[in-house]
Structure 1
Amino acid sequence: MNKKLKSSIFSVGIIALSLITVGQMVYASTKDPGSKDDPIVTLSYIELKLEQLKDYIDQKSFSSNQPEPNKPTENSTFQVVEIQRGQSLIAGAGTEIILRSGEAVAVISPLGGLSDVTGAEDLKKDEKIPANHLLIIPRDDGRGVRALADSFLLVKGGYTIN
C-alpha cells in the first residue's frame, strides 16, 4: 500500500473512534445518575436517598405522634395525666405509670397484674396503688389503673382513658 492510502485509512479510523467516543459520552450524559440505565451509584446519589429516607421517617414519626380519636396516646417522656373518679387509664405494653396524687386501684388482665417496680411486687385486681411507685405494664392486654378519686398520674408510653 502506498503511504497516502495508509494515511487515509488511519485518519478514517481516528475519526470513527472519535465519533464513537463522543457518542458514548453524549449517551451517558443523558441518563439520570443511579437509574437503571446508569448502574453506577455515586456518593451524592446515596446521600440524596438517605436524606429522602430521613425526611420520610421524620414525617411519619411526626404524624404518628398526633393524637387521633380512639388511638392510644404515646409519649417518650413522662406526661402529667389527670383522670377523674371512675375513669380508667388503660395502658399499652411497656407503659410506665406513677400515681402522684389521688387514689387509684389496679386494673388487671387474665394474664396478670401490674408490676410495681418500687415495691417489688405484682399488684392484684383492685389493689390500691401506692403513691410515687413506678408501675410497668408488661403487655397490651387491658391493664391499667382506675381512679377512686380525682388523680394525677405521670405516664410514659401509650394509653387510653375510658
Structure 2
Amino acid sequence: MRLNKAKTAIMLLIAGAVLSLLGYAAFAGDGEPGGSGDPLVTQSYVDQYVQWRVAELKSGQVLKGGAGTEIIVRRGQAAVVDSTGNGIPDLTAGADIYGGSTVPVNHLLLVPREDGRGVKALSPVVVMYRGEATIR
C-alpha cells in the first residue's frame, strides 16, 4: 500500500511540473501579439506606408514620389512632372498621364519608380499621398 501511495505522489509531482512548464511556455511572451512588447509592424512603417498624409502645395511647388507612392490631388490644379517620358499611371482612369498634363481631381496616381516623377502645383493644391515623397 505504501508503494502505491509513493507512486501516486511521484506521478502527481511529475504532472504538476509538466503543467507548470507548459503554463510558463504559453505565457512567457512579452505581451500580446501586436502589443508594444511584440509589435506586428513598427509605428514608423505604419506612418510611412499605410496612413495617408496631406500636403498643401503653393503654386510652383513639386511633390516627387518614391517607388510605390500613391497620390491624390484633392483640390486645386496640378500637372504631372515626368522626366522619363513614361507618365504616371492614373489607376482611377486606367491610363497613363504624361508630363505637363493636368491631373484630374480625386484620381489615384501611382508613382512606379523613384525617378523624379510627381505632381507640380499650378495653383494652390491640396494633395493626399501615401509612401515616400519630397516637396520642393
| TM-score normalised to structure 1 length | 0.57
Identity within the alignment, %: 34
Higher strand content, 1 or 2: 2
Give the match for residue 98 of structure 2.
Answer: 124
Higher helix content, 1 or 2: 1
Q: Rg larger in 1 or in 2? A: 1
Could you list the structure 1 runs, at least 4 aligned residues long, displaced by more than 3 angstroms after superposition: 41-60
Shift of 1:47: 5.0
**Amino acid of the structure 2 residue aligned with 1:137:** V
Give the match for residue 77 of structure 2.
Answer: 103
> Using the alignment, how far apart are the partners of 1:113 and 1:75 within structure 2?
22
Where 2:24 maps in the other structure, the secondary structure is helix
**Structure 1 residues 120, 87: CA separation in 2 closer, same or farther (over 3 Å shift)?**
same
**TM alignment of 1:53-92, pairs within 5 A:** 55=36, 58=39, 61-62=42-43, 64=44, 74-92=48-66
**Amino acid of the structure 1 residue aligned with 2:78:** A
RMSD: 3.3
* Residue ranges of structure 2 left out of the alignment (5+ in a row): 1-20
**Structure 1 residues 127, 47: CA separation in 2 closer, same or farther (over 3 Å shift)?**
farther
Select the structure with the greater relative contact order (CA < 8 A; seq sep ≥ 6).
2
> Using the alignment, how far apart are the partners of 1:153 and 1:100 within structure 2?
6
> Using the alignment, how far apart are the partners of 1:159 and 1:57 within structure 2?
29
**Amino acid of the structure 1 residue aligned with 2:127:** L
| Residues 1:48 and 2:28 aligned together | yes
Number of aligned residue pairs: give it.
118
Give the match for residue 115 of structure 1.
Answer: 89
| TM-score normalised to structure 2 length | 0.67
* Residue ranges of structure 1 left out of the alignment (5+ in a row): 1-40, 67-72
